[in-house]
Structure 1
Amino acid sequence: MLRFKIQIFLIILVLFNSCSKETTQKSIIKEKSLELQVQEAYNEGVEALEAGDVLYAAKKFNEAEILFPQAVSAPQSALMAAYSYYTQDYYGDAIAELERFIKLYNTHKDLGYAYYLLAICHYEQIVDEKKDLQSIIKAKENFNIILKDYQNTEYAIDAEFKVELIDDILAAKEMYLGRYYFDKKKWIPAINRFREIIDNYDTTIYAEEALHRLVEVHYTIGLIDEAEKYAQLLGYNYQSSKWYENSYSLFDKTYKKKKKERLKNNKKKTGGLLKKFKTLLE
């Protein structure tokens, strides 16, 4: 009887070990199969992207991420989905993917690239400075993140260049509005718009005209002293420009050009405005 019980115990033990090994083996096979599925989905995404089928490519990259979200390749799959949308100008989808990436993988090594591509997606939607203000603001916001947090990356140089172009666009918008208010004889809003240019976009191509317009507005409403201050500032920085000549002509014979001897520094400024004479405007 005892021998029979021992035999039954050994049989059960063997069966248990066998089942345990089979379960472990199935688990390993299943894990390998999942990794294989992820790799296959990613590879299909790459092939579709190269073939120009960006929607299917994005779908496969998303699939690769969803199949194994804990995988090292998951963030890369998410970025590739965003890039797929971007290549064919599906900006809304690309932006959604990139914002999700930034939120979900906020410590990833390619976070700088995500911000850069996000900025580019907004930037490339700018068509008209009078209509696309949201795209302009978002583009500049994300380019500035690059310049602040990723200044040593390869994206920083282009980000700096793009911010300069965006500032030109924003200055153009302010100039457009300033001229509009001037034509409507709304002097205070006009002055505010022109001041916005020389205060925040003084390195743009609109800075000269903004100074002239401030001379023009103040002269028109009879604030001659204020007009002269802006004329001096314009002359100091852009004495050879057409805008200075236009400002000078406003005063006719009653206002003469300021002599160079009155300036402590004869050199024309090559950088921003207002560093020497900003106190005149306070």
Structure 2
Amino acid sequence: MSSRLASTAACATLMFLSGCSLFGDKEKPQVPQLASADAFYNNGIDALRSRRYTLAAAEFETLQQNYPYSGYTASAQLMEGYAYYLQSKYPESAQQLERFIELHPTSGDAPYAFYLLALCYYEQIGDVRRDQQMTSEAMSRLQDVIARFPQSKYARDAQLKIDLCRDHLAGKEMLVGRYYQQQRSYQGAIGRYQRVVQDFQTTNHVAEALERLVEVYLDLGLTEEARRTGTVLAYNYPGSKWYRYAYNDLKYYHLLQAGTPVPGTTKGPAGAPSQEETLSPAQSAARGVGRADAPPSLSAAPVQPVNAQSLPQQNDGSTLTSNVAHQGTAQGTNGRPR
């Protein structure tokens, strides 16, 4: 029995060794080789140019995860934010741009990063009937662009968009003021209208605010205040429909003074803007007047083939040409039924 067990064990050992030798002769499975950093970057650029924005963001993100110290990493961070922006994924874009700015504050692409970050808030501006926190945030970010990079090619467009934000905020004040006036809450209405006159003097809502003040003062019996406000309206906006409304109201209550100009017969003070020049940014955009084109093109992105040796040290050539940022518009309310 013992001899049989020994013989069986020997055979098993021989078969095991033969099996090991047999399996050892087979080729080991090949592990897929990861693409290079420049390949990921070029793939992302190609995807952007062909408007495959989701794929572009994925390529740039993969590059950052696998090559955190590559010379392409900073460019990929910026371009991923741009890809999200083009998809209208503004919170994701803002997060990515904040990361880029934090890690590369002195980059040559920093002005554009600040500008694009501001646009992420600007594009989310809602209707004047909704909360205007996003409008205030966008205006703050745009002002930051001008303060940090006053000589950059983004400063002028930022200023135009600030004007639109201010017009939007003034429109919100007018909306609330008209509501208070309809509810006969005159003190609240006066406060809103006066804020438009004092804080938003460059917007297209000032003439209406002055006319509404005339209405409220007349309803309250404050004839002197109504007459004085009408005079201010006549001096600054003699050709507007709002002065015509105020003139008719003052005439009805026999409050016109000698020499009060008839609507449309006098000109404003020297240097006062004309009716066309006082259009709100939203109205100007609708007419194609006074608005900046799409933001200037970025520096040329590398095109295939590129390699790590040809990559510049300071991110020059890291960004995509043909930036087509959206031209956001925000409509305020203007005009009362008569």
TM-score normalised by L of structure 1: 0.75
Residue 10 (structure 1) aligns with: none
Secondary structure of the residue that 1:138 maps to in structure 2?
helix
Q: Tell me which residue corresponds to 2:332.
A: none
Structure-1 separation of matches of 2:97 and 2:269 = 47
Corresponding position of 1:17: none
Segments of 4+ in structure 1 off by > 6 A? none
> For the structure 1 residues 266 and 240, does the alpha-carbon distance in structure 2 shift closer, same or farther, using more than 3 Å as the test?
closer
Which residue of the partner structure matches residue 6 of structure 1? none
Which residue in the other structure is 2:142 paired with?
Answer: 143
Q: 1:76/1:182 Cα in 2 relative to 1: closer, same or farther (>3 Å)?
A: same
Verify the 8 A CA contact 1:236 1:268 in the aligned structure 2.
no
CA RMSD of aligned residues (A): 2.5
Higher helix share: 1
Aligned to 2:254: 254
- What are the ranges of 5 or more consecutive residues in structure 2 without an aligned counterpart? 1-32, 262-266, 275-338
Cα offset, 1:132, TM superposition: 5.3
Equivalent pairs: percent with the same residue?
35
Note closer, same or farther for the CA distance 1:96–1:196 as it changes in structure 2 (3 Å cut): same
Alignment match, 2:86? 87
One-letter amino acid of the counterpart of residue 259, structure 2:
K
> Residues 219, 269 of structure 1: CA spacing in aligned structure 2 closer, same or farther, 3 A cutoff?
farther
SS in 1 for 2:36: helix
Q: Is 1:45 aligned to residue 44 of structure 2?
A: yes
Deviation at 1:135, TM superposition (A): 2.5
Cα deviation 1:242-261 (Å, max 9, x = unaligned): 21222122232521246379
Shift of 1:268: 5.0
1:117 Cα deviation (Å)? 0.9
- Alpha-carbon distance, 1:126 to partner: 2.5
Instruction: Give 1:122 shift.
Output: 1.9
Residue of structure 1 equivalent to 2:318: none
Q: Is the 8 A contact 2:227 2:256 kept in 1?
A: no
**Residue 210 of structure 1: how far off its partner (Å):** 0.3
Distance 1:260 1:223 in 2: 19
1:270 aligns with 2:272: yes
CA contact under 8 A between 2:223 and 2:255: conserved in structure 1? no
Offset of residue 119 of structure 1: 1.7
Establish whether residue 76 from structure 1 lines up as the match of residue 75 from structure 2.
yes
Does the C-alpha gap of structure 1 residues 164 and 257 become closer, same or farther in structure 2, counting only changes over 3 Å? farther
1:171 to 2:173 alignment: no
Distance, in Å, in 2 between the alignment partners of 1:271 and 1:195 is 21
Give aligned pairs, total. 236
Check whether the contact 1:248–1:255 (CA below 8 A) recurs between aligned residues. Answer: no
**Equivalent residue letter for 2:61:** N
Task: Map 1:220-235 to 2 at 5 A.
Answer: 220-235=219-234
List runs of 5+ in structure 1 lacking aligned partners: 1-32, 273-282
The separation in 1 between residues aligned to 2:46 and 2:152, in whole angstroms, is 29
